[in-house]
Amino acid sequence: MKKKITTMILSLSLLSVGSFFAGQALAADAKENSQTITRDGYQTSSKGSAEFFTGNVRIDSLFSENDSAPYTGGYVTFQPSARSAWHTHPAGQRLIVTEGVGWVQEWGGPIEKIREGDVVWCPPGVKHWHGATPTTSMTHIALTGMLEGNNVEWLEKVSDEQYDTKTEKSKK
Ligand code: MN
Relative to beta strand 57-63, strand 128-132 is unpaired
Separation of CA 136 and ligand 1 centre (Å) = 19
Domain ranges of the chain: 1-36, 45-170
Output the CA 92–ligand 1 centroid distance in Å: 8
Cα of 128 to ligand 1 centre, how many Å?
6
pTM value is 0.78
- Give distance in angstroms: CA of 48 to centre of ligand 1: 13
CATH number of 45-170: 2.60.120.10
What is the whole-number distance in angstroms between the Cα of residue 129 and the centre of ligand 1?
6
Measured in Å, residue 42 CA sits from the centre of ligand 1 at 24
Report the distance separating Cα 80 and Cα 6, nearest Å. Answer: 81
The DSSP secondary-structure symbol of 107 reads T
Task: Detail the DSSP E strand segments found in 117-161.
Answer: 119-122, 128-132, 138-145, 153-154
Print pLDDT tens along the chain (172 aa): 444 444 444 443 334 443 344 434 444 444 678 998 989 888 889 999 999 999 999 999 999 999 999 999 999 999 999 999 999 999 999 999 999 999 999 999 999 999 999 999 999 999 999 999 999 999 999 999 999 999 999 999 999 999 986 667 654 4
Element (H, E) at 62: strand 57-63
Phi–psi pair at 165, nearest 5 degrees: -55, -30
Phi first, then psi: give them for residue 41, nearest 5 degrees.
85, 0
Residue 21 CA to ligand 1 centre (angstroms): 46
Report the separation in Å between the CA atom of 40 and the middle of ligand 1, taken as the mean of its atom positions: 24
- d(CA 50, CA 48) in angstroms, rounded, equals 6
CA distances from 160 to 2, 121, 133, 165 (A): 93, 25, 12, 10
CA of 93 to the centre of ligand 1 (A): 6
From ligand 1's centre to the CA of 35, what distance in Å?
A: 28
- Percent helix, strand, coil in the chain, to 5, is 20, 35, 45
